[in-house]
């Protein structure tokens, strides 16, 4: 069986599989074919893949010869016709936002596993690409904010005067938000955090952040680790609380997302009006509409001296480590569908295989995806 690894399209820097994970696949008795130049933007040369036992092929060869095609951002619709009959695609296809594309994929008889739909169970943690990438994005968001902020993060007492510590506010204390708290604390900032899930209060506090509570959030405990939509009344109260704290903050990192929905709007223009010039907002929810009213995805907006950085793909800026973790996640996941002889074995009794599968046998099989589109 051949597993093909595609080169991602610009501006993506990551590659789905580094040579170390290619070697792990070869140990599973699979053959690995890598698109020419796939690792270039992740500091990895074609020669590194061949040294690990992989072949280097063109994009069309990968598409037409692979039994499993692995990517991060998915195969383009224009390439579906080039795939081998019965091909399996594995990547992040965001099926809750791309219903029409899922129907096209199903109609072509392609089996699609979308890693962003992996059930968030304890057994799933080693395969959870959303978590591995969000963790790095949370780190990078703080480092990026520190680069754009015209002052320092830590308190400094010098002979020339005292520098006060930066005040950082994190909105959404999931995987990215918790790493952002930890990173901002390591840099010496004072950190406050907001989340709708009361369960994260202790985690925020144990990382040294002050948790700002807004009463009356909808219960997300049965949403399998994901957030749920809040009432308009709750969001209005939350916005007022965020407004109050934002005027004192130097940095705001926003990460609040609800799978399959537009991101909640939590930082209004009037809140940005109340912020000090030189402040920085990094909005990791930019690709789904942004948590800040002024966010533009993949752009830096400067408004009254406040920089608003919209970027939901900061993991791409740590391409080597991000690719390493993504590849390991995929090795762990594909072990569930590759048998000892290096063949494919789709076990629908396995909740992780079933939950991550979006299309199979000509149909959209995933219930959440079918219901959302």
Q: Does 134 bind ligand NAD (CB under 6 A)?
A: yes
State yes or no: is 206 an active-site residue: no
State yes or no: is 128 an active-site residue: yes
**Contacting residue, 43, 121, 304, 339, with ligand NAD by CB under 6 A:** 121
**Contacting residue, 192, 195, 250, 283, with ligand NAD by CB under 6 A:** 195
371: CB partners within 8 A, 6+ apart: none
Please give the angle made by the CA atoms of 80, 83 and 88, to the nearest 5 degrees: 95
Q: Could you tell me the smallest distance in angstroms from the CB atom of residue 172 to ligand NAD?
A: 3
Separation of alpha carbons 303 and 295, rounded Å: 10
Q: Does 192 bind ligand NAD (CB under 6 A)?
A: no
Please give the angle made by the CA atoms of 142, 72 and 171, to the nearest 5 degrees: 30
Sign of the torsion formed by the C-alpha atoms of 43, 8, 73 and 287: positive
**Contacting residue, 68, 106, 130, 322, with ligand NAD by CB under 6 A:** 130
Nearer to ligand NAD, 7 or 243 (CB): 243
Q: Does 204 bind ligand NAD (CB under 6 A)?
A: no
**Residue linked to tokens 């506090």:** 205
Separation of alpha carbons 199 and 226, rounded Å: 12
# residues near ligand NAD by CB under 6 A = 32
Q: Does 88 bind ligand NAD (CB under 6 A)?
A: no
Q: Does 89 bind ligand NAD (CB under 6 A)?
A: no
Q: Which helix (H) or strand (E) holds 360?
A: strand 357-360
Q: Does 290 bind ligand NAD (CB under 6 A)?
A: no
Map the footprint of ligand NAD across residues 205-244, applying CB under 6 A: 225-227, 230, 238
Q: Does 128 bind ligand NAD (CB under 6 A)?
A: yes
Q: Could you tell me the smallest distance in angstroms from the CB atom of residue 356 to ligand NAD?
A: 12
Which residues are bridge partners to 161 per DSSP? 158
State yes or no: is 71 an active-site residue: no
Separation of alpha carbons 255 and 290, rounded Å: 9
**Contacting residue, 196, 313, 316, 332, with ligand NAD by CB under 6 A:** 196
Active-site residue, selected from the candidate residues 67, 71, 93, 128: 128
State yes or no: is 46 an active-site residue: no
Q: Does 191 bind ligand NAD (CB under 6 A)?
A: no
Sign of the torsion formed by the C-alpha atoms of 308, 310, 311 and 312: positive
- Token pair, residue 260, equals 């399959």
Separation of alpha carbons 95 and 358, rounded Å: 8
Label residue 80 exposed, middle or buried (CB < 10 Å: 0-12, 13-18, 19+): middle
Q: Which residues are catalytic?
A: 120, 125, 128, 131, 226
Residues that bind ligand NAD (CB under 6 A): 120-122, 124-125, 128, 130-131, 134, 171-177, 194-197, 225-227, 230, 238, 255-259, 264, 266
């Amino acid at each position: 069986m051949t597993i093909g690894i595609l080169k991602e399209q610009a501006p993506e820097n990551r590659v789905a599989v580094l040579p170390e994970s290619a070697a792990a696949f070869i140990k599973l008795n699979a053959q690995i074919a890598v698109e020419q130049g796939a690792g270039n933007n992740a500091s990895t040369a074609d020669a590194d893949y061949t040294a690990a036992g992989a072949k280097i092929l063109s994009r069309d060869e990968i598409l037409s010869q692979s039994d499993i095609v692995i990517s991060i951002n998915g195969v383009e619709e224009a390439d579906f016709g080039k795939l081998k009959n019965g091909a399996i695609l594995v990547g992040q296809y965001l099926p809750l936002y791309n219903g029409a594309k899922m129907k096209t994929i199903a109609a072509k008889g392609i089996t699609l596993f979308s890693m962003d739909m992996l059930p968030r169970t304890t057994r799933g943690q080693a395969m959870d690409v959303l978590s591995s990438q969000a963790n790095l994005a949370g780190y990078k968001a703080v480092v990026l904010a520190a680069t754009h902020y015209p002052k320092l993060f830590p308190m400094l007492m010098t002979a020339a005067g005292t520098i006060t510590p930066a005040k950082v506010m994190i909105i959404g204390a999931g995987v990215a938000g918790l790493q952002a708290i930890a990173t901002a604390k390591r840099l010496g900032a004072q950190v406050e955090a907001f989340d709708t899930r009361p369960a994260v209060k202790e985690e925020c506090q144990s990382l040294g952040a002050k948790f700002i509570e807004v009463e009356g959030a909808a219960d997300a405990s049965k949403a399998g680790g994901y957030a749920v939509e809040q009432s308009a009344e709750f969001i209005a109260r939350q916005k007022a609380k965020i407004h109050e704290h934002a005027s004192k903050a130097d940095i705001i990192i926003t990460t609040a997302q609800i799978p399959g929905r537009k991101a909640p709007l939590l930082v209004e223009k009037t809140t940005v009006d109340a912020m000090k010039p030189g402040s920085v907002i990094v909005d990791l929810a930019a690709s789904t509409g942004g948590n800040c009213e002024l966010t533009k995805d993949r752009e830096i907006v400067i408004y009254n001296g406040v920089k608003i950085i919209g970027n939901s793909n900061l993991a791409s800026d740590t391409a080597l480590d991000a690719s390493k973790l993504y590849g390991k996640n995929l090795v762990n996941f594909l072990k569930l569908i590759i048998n000892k002889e290096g063949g494919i074995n789709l076990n629908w009794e396995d909740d992780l295989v079933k939950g991550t599968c979006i299309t199979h046998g000509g149909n959209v099989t995933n219930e959440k995806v079918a219901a959302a589109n």
